[in-house]
Structure 1
Amino acid sequence: MEDVSTVSSAFTVSPGSPAAPARRAAYDCDVLVVGGGIVGLAAAYALTRLRPGLKVVVLEKEPGPARHQTGRNSGVIHSGVYYRPGSLKARFAVRGAAETVKFCAEHGIPHRITGKLIVATERAELPRLHALVQRGRKNGIPVRELGPAQIIEYEPHVRGLAAIHVGTTGVCDFGAVAAELARLVSAAGGEVRCGAEVAAVDRRPGLGVAVRTAAGAVVRARAMVNCAGLHCDRVAALAGDVPPVRIVPFRGEYHELAPERAGLVRGLVYPVPDPAFPFLGVHLTRGVDGSVHLGPNAVPALAREGYGRGTLRPRELAGTLAWPGTWRVARRHWRYGAGELRRSLSKTAFTEAVRRLLPEVDAADLRPAPSGVRAQAVGPDGALVDDFLITGGPHTVHVLNAPSPAATAALPIGREVARRALAELDAAVR
């Protein structure tokens, strides 16, 4: 982590200003957004809509937007059926699903409303399935209960004891959504600067925030929004805030059905999730291009961008292992983790998980597909943070947990983050 004093001279003070609170810096923008994933771009978009004329700059370390979680997921527009009523996830997912569909339709982005089956394959799962029905209805989501014969009407090749059908679920190209948000931010007078990795942050009460990039450029802003995803806790620490959580990366491993077997799946098929974990289990997703993805399997990654099994960054791994919550997660959930690791190392074991829902497939039908990495926030007590987590400090707003369904919920999350950033701006001038 670099010394924030390296940008201490970034603020220029007006001559003759006697008191610190009255000093004014020369700003390059009003709000600086760190992170060009879908949440950061949605926040920037919301800022330009809520306060036209506001100068917004987005810094993205990659050559283009949506290179990490946004562009490496299954593309599902989640309905909100899984999430605790009243939680940010529930409220934002339900609202975000409708807004995402509308946004895609208005901007010509590929999307389909396919509906989703959540299928119980064992009697022990039936109480959990019924609980999902109740939760979905409390969240205002239309849910239909199905028996075995009705399952086949929706998905002829899927087998189960019972299921629920969620009609508001769909798929889209979230990378295209992020690219369109970036275009709209630029059209509104903002900037999206790619290849700009944040190396240091200097925050001065009453003055704002100055950020230095790895290339040496300095950007001065009245407020900063941290949507750095896999690196959000580190950016918060650079700003001088102490994040209450640490990002522990989990690699999500996917396979794809061979093209000649893709017709086995019409839409989306999920197992009944275990409520003790934030992962939904190996599921079947027919994407907007007609391909069928299987997964993800979730295993610890050895780097924050550890998309391959052999990707290891010793300093990042050491930081993960130094966090006490990491070891407490491992002790609490080792049995679940062992099953995930087995499915990671054995294609046969992964196929077994798929066959629970889709009995006709075998290992020869599966093809390797690109992996993703989930930025999972973990507390010091080992708790896996289940809801979205947004915190802040003077001149800063930090999005510290925004895993799935963050892509679905990006537009309402972006508005919430934008409102908090504008509140910081307004407080600074009072």
Structure 2
Amino acid sequence: MSYDCDILVIGGGIVGLSSAYAITRAAPGTRVVVLEKEPGPALHQTGRNSGVIHSGIYYRPGSFKARFAVRGAAEMVRFCAEQGLPYEVTGKLIVATEREELPRLHALVQRGREHGIPVRELGPAQIAEREPAVRGLAAIHVGSTGVCDYGAVARRLARLAEEAGASIRYGAEVRAIGRRSSSVAVRTADGAVLRARALVNCAGLHSDRVARLAGDEPGMRIVPFRGEYYALAPSRAGLVRGLVYPVPDPAFPFLGVHLTRGIDGHVHIGPNAVPALAREGYDWRTLRPAELAGTLAFPGSWRIARRHWRYGAGELRRSLSKRAFTEAVRRMLPEVSPADLVPAPAGVRAQAVLPDGGLVDDFLFAEAPRTVHVLNAPSPAATASLPIGREVARRALAALGMVRV
């Protein structure tokens, strides 16, 4: 049988491109083709986030997220420096504004030390030294956090992979997958058929759908959550010097509204987290009935709603009311007013959900004959993209009986 390539990667976001790059480095000469349905790389989750290089402080010790984020933050800084891409290691503040948050803040200090992350405890005066407009009872400074441009990183990974012999095909939406004992065949929307020795699914928001096309039951479903942002008006951008986060509440699935001065100097505020009406539903007007019906038919969606309805009601209120969103921001940044907030582009988080309504809390990989699926890779996947890529490469090459990385 003739093959068009050795390994076919579905998805041209930062994880798919990092995987292709890692394969070409681990096994030079391996023929790699990346299929991306959009006209360019990194147009969804990768290109629509806040650009934070996460430290890994929030994640359970021993988890993929913890190991890959801690390692990936250092590697991302080094990669950007070596490639001449914009980045800055700013550190960040995690700020407690209520007394009941103090025990959780102290627990984060201990977790940071377990991970070997540089963490320093601050009082109100020290908070004011770093962020004069921010108010809090206590904070911790996490020194390894920074910002970069993940779209630029993805484009550079694409170029490096192509220079090493990989081929990237844009506008190539996968419509069908057939798997035999010795090969995997993929048909794209334009009718082209490609045969490979192995398949890697890095389809992000569509990872579960691609797994089913391959004949595999992933045991989860991607439920899309839109994260909506505002930006501080340019005249008020000086209110925030760096990165400021609230203390996360483990009872809720997301981090809450935070303040991020990006690599371009703009200050983004958000995100909230509301159900999206489509997998690429970046506003309330974008509705895809078939995708919404699939989400509503999935039992896990209703179980999430029942479990977190109070939290969800607050997020919806902040989505529909700028004043309510401003109230949330004012907990840490009391000087801000609704007039200071300018709408900014939203993102969509591809969250893997189990049938019992549980959120998959870690990166999730699954393997089938000649196939590797990346089924859950939300934040901090961009930070961790280089070690994730090596993990995917190791699994894909092992499936072919080739050199392990």
TM-score category (smaller protein): over 0.9
- Corresponding residue of 2:223: 248
Counterpart check, 1:276 vs 2:251:
yes
Q: Which residue of 1 aligns with 2:286?
A: 311
Match of 2:232 in 1: 257
Structure 1 ranges of 4+ moved more than 2 A: none
Q: What is the alpha-carbon distance in structure 1 between the residues aligned to residue 202 and residue 183 of structure 2?
A: 18
Counterparts of 1:316 and 1:145 in 2: how far apart (Å)? 45
Residues in 1 aligned to 2:245 and 2:220: alpha-carbon distance in whole angstroms: 29
Count of residues in correspondence between the two structures: 403
Aligned partners of 1:277 and 1:215: how far apart in 2? 43
In the alignment, which residue of structure 2 is the partner of 1:5?
A: none
Partner of 1:187: 163
Deviation at 1:275, TM superposition (A): 1.3
Alignment partners' CA distance in 2, 1:208 and 1:278: 39
Look up the match of 1:221: 196
TM-score (structure 2 length as normaliser): 0.99
Distance 2:359 2:103 in 1: 23
The Cα of 1:137 is off from its aligned counterpart by 0.9
Q: 2:130 aligns with which of 141, 145, 154?
A: 154
Question: TM-score, normalised on structure 1?
Answer: 0.93
- Match in the other structure for 1:135: 111
Among 51, 54, 74, the residue aligned to 2:50: 74
Q: Which runs of 5+ in 2 are unaligned?
A: none
Using the alignment, how far apart are the partners of 2:48 and 2:85 within structure 1? 17
Greater Cα offset, 358-367 or 418-427: 418-427
**Deviation readout 1:91-149 (Å, 9 max, x if unpaired):** 00000000000000111111111110000000011111111111111111111011101
In structure 1, which of residues 42, 55, 59 is the aligned counterpart of residue 18 of structure 2? 42
Larger radius of gyration: 1
User: What does residue 373 of structure 1 align with?
Assistant: 348
CA RMSD of aligned residues (A): 0.9
The whole-number CA distance in structure 1 between the counterparts of 2:3 and 2:261 is: 47
Amino acid at match of 1:75: G
Q: Residue type of the partner of 1:299? A: V
Between the aligned partners of 1:192 and 1:102, the Cα distance in structure 2 is: 25
> Could you say which residue in structure 2 is the equivalent of 1:320?
295
Give the Cα separation in 2 of the matches to 1:328 and 1:399: 24
Corresponding residue number in structure 1 for 2:304: 329
- Give the equivalent residue in structure 2 for 1:110: 86
**Structure 1: which 5+ runs fail to align?**
1-24
Q: Counterpart of 1:63?
A: 39
1:342 and 1:386 mapped to 2: Cα distance? Answer: 25
Contact 2:252 2:311 in 1 (8 A): no
Q: Percent of aligned pairs with the same residue?
A: 80
Q: Report deviation, 1:278.
A: 3.4
Q: 1:277, CA displacement in angstroms?
A: 3.1
Partner of 1:168: 144
Give the drift of 1:276.
2.7
Secondary structure of the 1:224 match is: strand
- Rounded to whole Å, the distance in 2 between the matches of 1:283 and 1:199 is 38
Paired residue for 1:290, among 265, 269, 283?
A: 265
